[in-house]
Chains A and B, each alone.
Chain A
Amino acid sequence: MDDVLLEMRGITKRFPGVTALEDVSLVVRRGEIHAICGENGAGKSTLMKVLSGVYPAGAYDGEIRFDGRPVHFAGIRDSEAVGIVIIHQELALVPYLSVAENIFLGNERRGRGGLIDWNRTNADARGLLASVGLDENPVAPVIQLGVGKQQLVEIAKALSKDVRLLILDEPTAALNDVDSAHLLDLLRRLRDRGITCIMISHKLSEITAIADSTTVIRDGRTVETLDMASGDVTQERIIRGMVGRDLESFYPDRDSAPGAEVLRIEDWTVWHPVQPRKVVDGASLTVRAGEVVGIAGLMGAGRTELAMSVFGRSYGRNISGRLYLHGREVRARTVAEAIQHGIAYATEDRKRYGLNLIADVRANISAAGLGKLARAGWVNGNEEIKVAEQGRRDLNIKTRTVLDVVGTLSGGNQQKVVLSKWLFTDPDVLILDEPTRGIDVGAKFEIYTIINRLVAQGKAVVVISSELPELLGMCDRIYTLSAGRITGELPVGQATQESLMALMTMEKELAG
């Protein structure tokens, strides 16, 4: 068949003690958008590393045919030479280099004497930026661009290498809805230009919207390849393939019985740490015991900033407003004070702000509540291990022992370690910032179940999420945030994705 661009057959990749891929096959047709789905740890990233030569030929079993010919890549340079470019989830841009320099990094436009031809570099960069729909100054440092635009710069960089097969690993994970839509639109246009695309994504709505076919991988094996063109493949259908069962209800049921008010903030205003502008502007909200309150907002609306400023002023400056816990006004000027008052904040970026990745599970779980395990400053190491074991059992953290290094766990299990850490501080209010970002469907369900269990114990939970269905599925009440202001408060019964989105995009003047 001539319309097949890439064929991977019988790919098996073993690591010491683990078989990451077992007899995986993948067939990608020319000019299609091919989605790859699977839970975290299913082997998607490993498969892409085999394809792009990160794991060189010989390190795996099986055959790869590209454009009809068998290929043996010894490294990334080989795969790029035939036009396979991979864009990783963590963007690989150099923050203080210019957009143009980043685009041509390692592939510089040279002129006479081997010196860089800056005019051609910047002119070519402008052209490439235009082709991805960006109107940015090519000499601007990349760090001045938002994440969404940086993602587009990555794609422009790929285009500069005459890409034929573009691999995107979770391209929209860090993007808001507007930027995501923009990116998906671009992928469609690239497809029309004949660029084949493999997209790994957890966002099933995107896959059903854009993919021509979908390959589902589970536990290192190919489960099925679905033809999406017919249009009758639903998200539920894909989930069934990923988890091997139907999730009866994606969001576990819970009886809603909110009790007394636990947390209240009034007229909360936060200034940006360096720029002279308000990031949160006069926000007020309440959270009651046994209640899940959602905060919806586009990226940059000030959701994380609001949460972190409440959590011991760990963000921003000139913070003003009143904070009440159980009806009494309190001051929480440091994180330690906030923890003492019973506030916990689980960050949206667990690798950078949530975990000590080089330390073991035990040390991470005890990190915020070490004082509880100590007498006169001395930590009871055995009690600590007991606590960690307890956390492992309660939250079903999949690790060999609690002495394993956290960096080796999958995303979902890392997130459970973060939760476990905060649960050990025994908080009254738990603020969860993007609690299911970048984790697989099965682990998401587990996290939801944990949230429900906490609420049943009478804890107050605040969930910040970019995924509106998640908020609608989990919360009792949802606040919307736009440009630092609370623009609405809806009981979940009255909220829809549309009504939330309308409030989230409300202009500042109207919000005032």
Chain B
Amino acid sequence: MTSTKPSAPAEQTESTSSAALHIGTSDPLTLVMRNLRQSGIYIAFIVIVALFASLTHGVLLSPGNITNIVLQYSYILVLAIGMVILIIAGHIDLSVGSIVALTGAVSAVLVIQHDQPWWIGIVAAVAVGTAVGAWQGFWVAYVGMPAFIVTLAGMLLFRGLTLEVLDNVSLSPFPAQYQKVASGFLNGLMGGQGYDAFTLLIAAIAVAGYAVGVFRTRLARIRYEQPVESFPLFVARVLVVAAVVMYFAWQLAHARGLPIVLIVLGVLVAAYGLMTKNTVFGRQIYAIGGNLPAAMLSGVKVRKVNFWIFVNMGFLAGIAGVIYSSRSNGAQPAAGNMFELDAIAAAFIGGAAVAGGVGTVVGAMVGGLIMAVMSNGMQLMGVDQSTQSVVKGLVLLLAVAFDIYNKRRAGTTR
């Protein structure tokens, strides 16, 4: 046991900030083992990135390609945020692909057919998505139907409505402002030096924010006499994160700058990551998925929570609908087909448990990126579509198998 026990409370003589520099465990093995499920995903991600980087002779990590991956998979990642929250609570949503199509269609009809300004389209799409989420939340939370059935029905229902709205034809193109959502960049704001300094500045601010945040967390943990990692290890962790982010930003800066959709995604991931971990609402989601009756008998308003996480899924599907329609520069009746499966796969690869109660937003993002890097890498290598599908299927299978194996091992230690 390496965790420092809070044995003598309130007898700390030295100031917290000086203690922050030299206490804590530095046994990296313990730190990895403490959270094997999570760290397993990160390790897998690094291995997969390294593998495809070498298979593609570095093209995978080239500035242009990194930008491409972000643009290409952002809407799946947005969907995966909502999806992992539903999965944690023990639900699922099979209809998100149809909602993406429907919201994109509504936006296209307003903006392209009726010449409304671009932002009306965005607001309308998100509003429709949220309303759809409320519809499904009503059936799941207040009527008590299984989410599988409700959203299976929704998948058909909203696909049908999409066809209705579009009158069965594709609409295109969107005005330039609307297209910028998915394919616009913030660059050139600080003059060109061959790279975009603005992107680097934003990344640096993000890194600084992260460093301050984790240091304050560390101080608070020490004040509460919680175990922390040793200071050198802490610094090393921050430096690694900083290096990865800055490298990523450097690459982006040398391509086309900071994609707008990446800012959207970053804000969403940070907000939802904090919400699920640190708010009463977020914690109640885990409680419901972990043991529904126990959550009820602990005073959790289960119906309310279930309703709102479906509303939230609809809201995020609306955002994904905007991004996707913007990226494809139009609305098609078949848009968003199978998106739900990619989002579900991302959540499960990211460590969510099929039975509920387990999973993280960040994990789902890494899970989604694993899928993205694999798809992208295989495309670069010219692997045909059929093989890609087989590989992705196997990865999903193995990821969940690993998860189950892990759990069984944890279960037999007692």
Which residues of A come within 8 Å of B, CB atoms? 15-18, 311-312, 314, 334-336, 338-339, 345, 347, 352-359, 363, 366-368, 370-371, 374, 377-379, 381-383, 385-386, 389, 400-401, 405, 407-408, 421
For A18, what are the chain B residues with a Cβ–Cβ distance below 8 Å? 413-414
B220 contacts A by Cβ under 8 Å:
yes
A-B pairs with lowest CB-CB distance, top 3: A356-B290, A382-B224, A368-B298
Query: Would you list 14 pairs from A and B whose C-beta atoms are within 8 A, ordered by A residue?
Result: A339-B299, A353-B291, A355-B291, A356-B291, A356-B294, A356-B357, A367-B287, A368-B298, A371-B280, A381-B278, A382-B220, A382-B226, A400-B1, A401-B227
Of A353, A358, A370, the residue contacting B283 (CB under 8 A) is A370
Q: Does B70 contact A (CB under 8 A)?
A: no
Given contacts A335-B299, A347-B297, A377-B279, contact A382 B223 (CB under 8 A): yes
CA distance A30 to B264 in the complex (A): 74
Closest to B290 in A: A356
* A-side contacts of B299, CB under 8 Å: 312, 334-336, 338-339, 368
Known: A354-B294, A367-B294. 14 other contacts (CB 8 A): A15-B414, A16-B413, A314-B297, A335-B296, A335-B297, A336-B299, A356-B357, A358-B291, A367-B300, A378-B279, A379-B278, A382-B220, A385-B224, A401-B3
CB-defined contacts of A407 to chain B, threshold 8 Å: 411
Check A358/B290 contact, CB under 8 A, given A368-B299, A370-B283, A379-B283.
yes
Choose among B290, B291, B299 the residue with the greatest number of A CB atoms under 10 Å from its CB.
B299
B contact residues around A389 at 8 Å (CB) = 6
Residues from chain B with a CB closer than 8 A to the CB of A347 are: 297
For B213, what are the chain A residues with a Cβ–Cβ distance below 8 Å? none
CA distance A354 to B286 in the complex (A): 15
Q: Residue on A with the closest CB to B1?
A: A400
Which residues of chain B from 195 to 222 have a CB within 8 Å of any chain A CB? 220-221
Complex alpha-carbon distance, A352 and B298, angstroms: 13
From 269 to 312 in chain B, residues with beta carbon under 8 angstroms from any chain A beta carbon are 277-281, 283-284, 286-287, 290-291, 293-301
Known: A314-B296, A356-B295, A385-B224. A408 touches B280 (CB 8 A): no
A15 touches B413 (CB 8 A): yes
Give bound CA distance, A363 to B291, whole Å.
12
* CA A378 to CA B277, docked complex, whole Å: 9
Q: Does B412 contact A (CB under 8 A)?
A: yes
Inter-subunit contact B287/A352 (CB<8 Å): no
A358–B356 alpha-carbon span in the complex (Å): 10
- Is there contact, CB below 8 Å, between B280 and A377? yes
Residues of A within 8 A of B281 (CB): 377
> Contact: B413 with A357, CB < 8 Å?
no
Cβ of B87 within 8 Å of any chain A Cβ, yes or no, is: no
**Separation of A357 and B221 alpha carbons in the complex (Å):** 25
Closest Cβ neighbor of B5 among chain A residues: A401
What is the distance, in angstroms, from A50's C-beta to the closest C-beta of chain B?
A: 14
| Residues in A whose Cβ lies below 8 Å from that of B226 | 382, 385
* A379 to B300 alpha-carbon distance, docked (Å): 15
* B284, closest chain A residue (CB): A370
- Residue B358 at the A interface, CB < 8 A? yes
**Which of B277, B280, B287 contacts A356 (CB under 8 A)?**
B287
User: CB-CB contacts of B99-129 with A at 8 A, as 1s and 0s?
Assistant: 0000000000000000000000000000000
Cross-chain contact A17 with B223 (CB below 8 angstroms): no
> Using Cβ atoms and an 8 Å threshold, which residues of chain A touch B358?
358
A379 lies within 8 A of B297 (CB): no
Given A356-B287, A374-B280: A335 in contact with B224 (beta carbons within 8 A)? no
Map CB proximity to A onto B221-253 as digits: 1 under 8 Å, 0 otherwise.
101101100000000000000000000000000
| A345-B291 contact given A358-B357, A358-B358, A379-B278, CB 8 Å threshold | no
Query: B172 to chain A: closest CB distance in Å?
Result: 42
**B223–A336 touching, CB < 8 Å:** no
Partner of A382, one of B221, B291, B411, B413: B221
* Chain A residues whose C-beta falls within 8 Å of the C-beta of B1 in the assembled complex: 400
Given contacts A374-B280, A379-B280, contact A357 B220 (CB under 8 A): no
Neighbouring A residues of B296 by C-beta, 8 Å:
314, 335
Q: Do the beta carbons of B413 and A359 come within 8 Å of each other?
A: no
Q: Which residues in A have their C-beta under 8 angstroms from that of B353?
A: 358
Which residues on B sit within 8 Å (CB–CB) of A359? 286-287, 290, 357
CA distance A336 to B277 in the complex (A): 22
- Among the interface residues B1, B226, B412, which one has the most CB atoms of the partner chain A within 10 A? B226
In the complex, what distance in Å separates the CA atom of A15 from the CA atom of B414? 7
Q: Which residues from chain B contact A386 at a C-beta distance below 8 Å?
A: 224
Residues of B within 8 A of A356 (CB): 286-287, 290-291, 294-295, 357
**B293 surroundings in chain A (CB, below 8 A):** 352-353
Closest to A352 in B: B293
> Which residue of B has the minimal Cβ distance to A377?
B279
Would A363 and B287 count as touching, CB distance under 8 A?
yes
CA distance A378 to B297 in the complex (A): 22
CB distance from A423 to the nearest CB of B (A): 13
Residues of A within 8 A of B412 (CB): 15
B217 CB → nearest A CB, Å: 9
Return B218 CB to nearest CB of chain A, in Å. Answer: 11
Contacts of A358 in B (CB 8 A): 290-291, 353, 357-358
Q: Across the interface, name the chain A residue whose C-beta is closest to B286.
A: A359
Set of chain A residues within 8 Å of B278, measured between Cβ atoms: 378-379, 381
Complex: A312 Cα to B299 Cα, angstroms:
9
Q: Which of B293, B298, B410, B412: most chain A CB closer than 10 A? A: B298
- B282's nearest neighbour on chain A, judged by CB, is A379
